[in-house]
Amino acid sequence: MDWFVLFLVAGAGIAIWRIVYQVRRASQRREDDWDAKLIERLRRSGVDPFSPVEVDFFVALPTRASANAVAAKLRTEGFATDVRELPDGGEQPWSVYAMRSMQLNANGVREVSNRMRALAAETGGRYDGWAPGPGKPVA
């Protein structure tokens, strides 16, 4: 009887660990999947993945000073930037639009997205994602 109880407890522990592991993995994959899915839809709509495409990244920030600081950092990293005030921005009324020409591959976009998230976190802002630049179809 003692072995049976021990076996049940061990099995329950393994099951709980596996559930926690899968949930963590799924939550991390959700952000990455969005980038990959959008890139795939753009490719299906005719965007050449091997030719550089203008990509716009968006960061919402709480103050004009923080927006200007983020824009200045991004300009040193090769981005063209534009700082705008959002009329209905709520707690994040300033936005930095950062544009860069790059190939549309999931790893490259994820790398830039992670950089944008880090800059937003440093300055109390929020990364709002990316989109293909003007003239490119949004799938």
pLDDT digits (tens, 9 = 90+) for 64-109: 999 999 999 999 999 999 999 988 868 889 999 999 999 888 888 8
Could you tell me the pTM of the whole model?
Answer: 0.70
Confidence of residue 139 (pLDDT cuts 50, 70, 90): very low
Q: Burial-class residue 79 by CB neighbours within 10 Å (0-12, 13-18, 19+).
A: buried
Tell me if residue 68 falls in helix, strand or coil. Answer: helix
Provide φ and ψ at 19, rounded to 5°.
-65, -45
* Partners of residue 58 on adjacent β-strands: 97, 129
Complete edge-to-edge strand list for the sheet that includes strand 94-102 = 80-85, 94-102, 53-61, 126-132
pLDDT digits (tens, 9 = 90+) for 25-69: 666 555 557 788 888 888 888 888 778 889 999 999 999 999 999
Inform me whether the pLDDT recorded for 118 exceeds 70: yes
Q: 1-139 sits in which CATH class?
A: alpha beta
Of 19 and 108, which is predicted with more confidence? 108
pLDDT of residue 76: 96
In terms of C-beta distances under 8 Å and separation of at least 24 residues, what long-range contacts does 45-49 make, across chains too? 45/137, 45/139, 46/137, 47/104, 47/132, 47/136, 47/137, 49/103, 49/104, 49/105
CA distance 14 to 8: 10
The reported pLDDT for the residue numbered 51 is 84
Angle of the 106-122 helix axis to the 64-76 helix axis, nearest 10: 140
Positive or negative: CA dihedral 131, 134, 137, 138: positive
Q: Yes or no: say if 72 and 87 are a contact pair by the CB < 8 Å rule.
A: no
